[in-house]
Structure 1
Amino acid sequence: MAPKKKEHSIDVRSQVIQHFLNGDSYTDIVDKVLIPRPTIVSIVQKYKKSKCVLNISGRGRKRKTTVAVDRIIRRKIKVDRRKSATAVKIEIEKELGVVIHANTVRNRLHEIGLYGRVARKKPYVNKVNRAKRIAYAKMMIQKSSDYWKHVLWSDESKFNLFGSDGKVMVWRSRSEEYEPICTVPTVKHNGGNVMVWGCFSRSGVGNLFFIDNIMDRFCYREILQKNLLQSAMKLGLTRSLVFQHDNDPKHTAKIVKDWLNGKKIEVLKWPASSPDLNPIEHVWDELERRMKKHHPSNKEELKKALLQEWNGIGDDVTEKLVDSVPNRLYECIRMQGYPTRY
């Protein structure tokens, strides 16, 4: 006989038993509750044996672990989120003499909402920079939404012709995706074939410039000379421009500062290790997603495709990203300066 796929609800079973106790025949019960006769017979026979409509407790396989062992399993994972289920299994067997399977460990963790997931890669932020990030966020969160409309966001990025990503598994709940213990610290620009400089504001994207030479302070000043004011004019920011770039040494070099001061360009003060506060990081993500349909075989084809997709990014994307800045600042404060989900 094939196993049952599901049981009827307690209300339905109670109704069947009540009709049976009232002296109704199986045929009468079928007509009243509209359930097949074999099912009626099965429900009644089960009631005769157990004298209970509910399922008898204790059915099914017994748990291999006690409450105390469950607690130890959970504690081991919460102390070290990168520990594997197999490692926990071995430790439990050595320390407590309880023989269990690695799947049992996984099941106990699933019960409290922890699942094995690839750790998110986020930049390492030390204690000093966390304090600076919090101070910056508390100061800038007071700015009006109109202020951010005048900011020209900029950054450099690299795009690969080929590449692969390593994976690190951690145990976490859904809400712990960006907790420091569940992310993998990483650094920016990890390989690539074409390096670009780009900028954008709420009203759209500016110029995309390909960097073919060694990127130093002289090269960076030349990029700004050729693209900054031109992009600002294109985006309508000539009268109230606030320029943003990070604290890379070539960005803060004296010749760059002198050029910006000479052009009377206001520079947005920026905390270190804060790519998550810069919405242009998501512009790079958008550009990378759009590049997936292209399959360039050399740098020239890659450049052509990048420029085509960059110019295709509309203000619907840039408006949404700039409008997210206040939320980014709030998240930075909430995370106490650690990397946020952005």
Structure 2
Amino acid sequence: MGKKSVSSPLKWQIIGLLKSGDKKQNAIAKLLGVSPKCVSSTKKRYEETGTVSDRSRSGLESHTAVRKPLLTIKDRQKRYKWCKQRLNWTINDWSRVIFSDESNFEVFNRNSRVIVKRFKNEKFHPKFCIPRLQNGGGSAGIWGCISYKGTGISNIYTGRINQFVYINTLENNLLPSVELLFEQNDPWIFQQDGASAHTAHLVSDWFKEQNIEVLPWCARSPDLNPIENLWSYMDAKMVNTKVTSIEHLKEVLHKEWLKIPTEYVKKLIESMPKRVLVCYKAKGGHFKY
């Protein structure tokens, strides 16, 4: 009787558990229903080749490494649960949400590419993803929000956002955006990520005072936020613009934000049911968006 083949997804799960450091190899083998030898050999293959595949490396091709936040096992579990709870949400449900985010843009475009060797189906494996880092000097930040009706009122700034700056942004940019994007007395929900400035007690108290419902959100989940696509969209529009100073950059950001087509924003909101479904099928892992 031949030995049972262990699938690549299961082997990647072995690597994930090994990296988490929560369990020893024998415990992982028992948990996943594989032999201790399988765990050991998978670990060795990953350390030597950067993959868990048994296939010949002759099938490797050059690809630009995908920049994705590092997801822990707990992150994946929370994302999976979050998506499961919203599988039945329709476009009408998502049209009630105001999505928000901040992004930094630099005066000089230094979006360097990293070339990696991988198989076509290994695009989102952790080995071939580069964590995105936000850098300081020579840059300007933009806070923005969107709903099904289009873009809200942006806030373009320099420096870091703390709880006081964030509350000022909510008062001067979010609230006027609500009036712009929703009819009076229309129900709406606010989305934000879990940045420390967003979740400070002072900010939480402000939301309560304003009677604003905040959508629960998972850590390291920009792929679930449709506004993330707008940053790439703006970056692409600005790539041939020669920005000479921070003040010039702020002007360009303001103009590009105002030029974002409403139809494009609508399509992003309409993508939410599919995003949730794909993330759910990926068991909370990275997915293409």
Q: What TM-score do you get using the length of structure 2 for normalisation?
A: 0.76
Unaligned runs of 5+ in 1: 1-74, 83-107
Corresponding position of 2:140: 194
Larger radius of gyration: 1
Work out the CA distance in 2 between the residues paired with 1:226 and 1:193. 22
Of the three residues 217, 237, 243, the one matched with 1:290 is 237
Out of 168, 186, 190, the residue aligned to residue 243 of structure 1 is 190
Pairing 1:217–2:186 present: no
Distance 1:213 1:301 in 2: 16
Deviation at 1:243, TM superposition (A): 0.4
166-175 vs 209-218, greater mean Cα deviation:
166-175
Query: In structure 1, what is the equivalent of residue 180 of structure 2?
Result: 234
CA deviation map 1:63-86 (0-9, x unaligned): xxxxxxxxxxxx97996248xxxx
1:131 and 2:87 matched: no
Sequence identity percentage: 32
1:199 and 1:170 map into 2 onto residues whose CA distance is: 34
Residue of structure 1 in register with 2:251 after alignment:
304
Q: 2: CA distance between counterparts of 1:292 and 1:237? A: 36
Aligned-pair CA distance for 1:292: 2.0
Q: Please list, as runs of the form range in 1=range in 2, the aligned pairs for 1:4-43 lying within 5 A after superposition.
A: none
Q: Distance in 1 between matches of 2:149 and 2:84?
A: 26
C-alpha distance in 1 between matches for 2:57 and 2:47 = 10
Counterpart CA distance in 2 for 1:249 and 1:148 is 25
1:211-230 Cα shifts (integer Å, max 9, x gaps): 23541111101110111110
| 1:167 positional shift | 4.0
1:123 aligned counterpart, secondary structure: coil
In the alignment, structure 1 residue 149 sits paired with structure 2 residue 118: no
Q: What is the letter of the counterpart of residue 134 of structure 2?
A: H
Q: State the AA in 1 paired with 2:158.
A: D
Alpha-carbon spacing, 1:213–1:166, altered in 2? closer, same or farther (3 Å): closer
Aligned equivalents of 2:274, 2:117: Cα separation in 1: 27
Partners of 1:78 and 1:170 lie apart in 2 by 16
1:91 matched residue in structure 2: none
1:178 Cα offset (Å):
2.1
Q: Contact 1:81 / 1:170 at 8 angstroms: preserved in 2?
A: no
Residue 80 of structure 1 aligns with an amino acid whose one-letter code is T
**Other-structure match for 1:171:** 117
Residues 165 and 306 of structure 1, relative CA distance in 2, 3 Å threshold = closer
CA distance, structure 2, for counterparts of residue 154 and residue 249 of structure 1 = 15
**Using a 3 Å threshold, how does the CA distance of structure 1 residues 213 and 165 change in structure 2: closer, same or farther?**
closer
Secondary structure in 1 matching 2:62:
strand
Partner of 2:226: 279
Question: Is 1:119 aligned to 2:77, yes or no?
Answer: no
Distance 1:292 1:225, change over 3 A: same
- 1:210/1:311 CA distance change after superposition, 3 Å: same
Counterpart residue identity of residue 189, structure 1: Q
Provide the secondary structure at the position in 2 that maps to 1:121.
Answer: coil
Cα distance 1:330–1:254, how it changes in 2: closer, same or farther (>3 A)? same
Q: Is the Cα–Cα contact under 8 Å of residues 125 and 273 in structure 1 kept in the other structure?
A: yes
Aligned to 2:41: none
Higher relative contact order (CA 8 A, sep 6+): 2
* 1:258-297 deviations in Å (ceiling 9; x for gaps): 1111111111110111011001110111111111232121
1:275 aligned partner, one-letter code: P
Q: Is the 8 A contact 2:90 2:273 kept in 1?
A: no
CA distance in 2, matches of 1:223, 1:266: 17
For 1:182, which of 128, 134, 142 is the aligned residue?
A: 128
Q: Does the aligned pair in 1 maintain the 2:140–2:159 contact within 8 Å?
A: no
Is 1:316 the counterpart of 2:285? The answer is no
Unmatched segments (≥5 aa) in structure 2: 1-43
Match of 1:334 among 260, 281, 284: 281
- Per-residue CA deviation, residues 40-93 of structure 1 (Å, 9 max, x unaligned), is xxxxxxxxxxxxxxxxxxxxxxxxxxxxxxxxxxx97996248xxxxxxxxxxx
| TM-score normalised by the chain length of structure 1 | 0.65
Task: Find the aligned partners of 1:172 and 1:328 in 2 and give their Cα distance.
Answer: 25
Deviates more, 1:303-312 or 1:175-184: 175-184
Superposition deviation, residue 245 in structure 1 = 0.2
How many residue pairs get matched?
241
